[in-house]
Amino acid sequence: MALNLLIIVFALTDLFPFASWVSLIIATGVFAATGYSLINNRLVFIVSIVMGTAVFLITAIICNIYAHFVRKIDQKYAGLQQVADSLVIYDEATSLMRWKFANQTLITEILRGRRYHNDVAMVLFDYLQRDQLSEEDLQKVNKKVAEILLDGIRTNLDIAFIHEQLGLILPETGDKGALILTQRLIQKINKSCDAQVKAGIASFPQDAITEDEILLQAKTALQSALGSDQYVVTYQSLDSGSLADLDQPAAETVEESKGQDQQQVYVNILESINLDDNQWVVWIEGFDKMDDLSVVEEKFNEIDHIQGIDFLFLQENHLVVKIRSSLEDLIKAEMPFPGWDVVKTSPKNRYLLIRQAQD
């Protein structure tokens, strides 16, 4: 019975791989050694060993079946729990919308903005002394800031969310409206909380045309605010350099140096874009109005080798997209984009700069 109990414990706790079978071998060995020392009759000894081993084997098999059944139940429960957690829309601690759902709202609002020519603004908030806050203090400050945000926005239209930072999605709101609202909110926050809060603002379509890009531009504006004496920075207020030529020499004047710094930001963005073997980044020159977006998408869809298009960001008069192509080497292909001239290529970063062909 003691040896059977040993097998049961090892099998159900699964202390290490094949624990039940190891315990079976140990139990059989101990039983055989004990029987050998106690039983003088050889036939009785053999029968006892066979019967004992059979009992141990049956115990191990039953325990393994039971343990397997329990593991399946645990896996099913864990899967259901994961699904349930993924369906929780609002963060329990702050009552703000989780980013997974806020991002879907942002996509919807940008699509609506394209159709009806509406503005959409995004605001990101962060703490100047975040590194000095403990996890407990950060949760307390987040909760207080969340209360102020929820109290200060249009609850039937605006979305307050929590991601890496706290933020707002403001449909039908441009830079100016977002700036006024954000300044008012920051005044309330800084009066009510010990932490000093700053914010960055980006908007559609002035700064971005996709959900990923507006988030990126808002982060850029926020970083600028954190590194300056301004409490609120809009992406529109930042200097931006030309991206037509990513390999141009470093500038010497102050203004050119600023342009190079901004250019390097986008170079870093390009280098951080994950590309599969059949994916390429394409810069499209001459993009100066939103109506061009549907035109570009329609023309690209007519090209046989293009299997998918993702819009990345807009900078000045350049639209940047990621495409999936069936061609092995898009750069070496002859006329890969009918109707466009390839102005520049970079095999290292897998990008092409193209412009509309002249008639």
List, for residues 310-356, the tens digit of each pLDDT value. Answer: 877 666 567 788 899 999 888 888 889 998 899 988 888 888 999 88
Average pLDDT over residues 264-284: 73
Average pLDDT over residues 162-178: 91
- Sheet order of strands, 351-356 included: 306-315, 318-325, 279-285, 351-356, 340-346
List, for residues 39-64, the tens digit of each pLDDT value. Answer: 777 777 787 778 878 887 888 888 87
pLDDT at 257: 42
User: Mean pLDDT over all residues of the chain?
Assistant: 80
pLDDT at 26: 83
C-alpha to C-alpha distances, 52 to 11, 23, 64, nearest whole angstrom: 18, 14, 18
pLDDT at 351: 86
**% of the chain residues with pLDDT over 70:** 84
Residues near 97 by Cβ (< 8 Å), separated by ≥ 6?
A: 89, 90, 91, 105, 159, 160, 161, 162
Residues near 31 by Cβ (< 8 Å), separated by ≥ 6?
A: 3, 49, 52, 53, 56
Domains of the chain are 2-86 (no CATH), 97-237 (3.30.70.270), 254-356 (no CATH)
Average pLDDT over residues 166-184: 93
Of residues 177 and 314, the one with the higher pLDDT is 177
List, for residues 94-133, the tens digit of each pLDDT value. Answer: 989 988 889 888 988 998 888 888 999 999 999 988 888 8
pLDDT above 70 (res 264): no
Of residues 211 and 27, the one with the higher pLDDT is 211
List, for residues 199-233, the tens digit of each pLDDT value. Answer: 999 999 888 888 889 999 999 999 999 988 899 99
Q: Beta-carbon neighbour count of residue 100 at 10 Å?
A: 13
The C-alpha atoms of residue 280 and residue 291 are separated, in whole angstroms, by 24
List, for residues 63-104, the tens digit of each pLDDT value. Answer: 878 877 887 777 766 655 555 554 568 888 898 998 888 988
Q: What is the pTM of this model?
A: 0.51
Q: pLDDT band at residue 33, thresholds of 50, 70 and 90?
A: confident
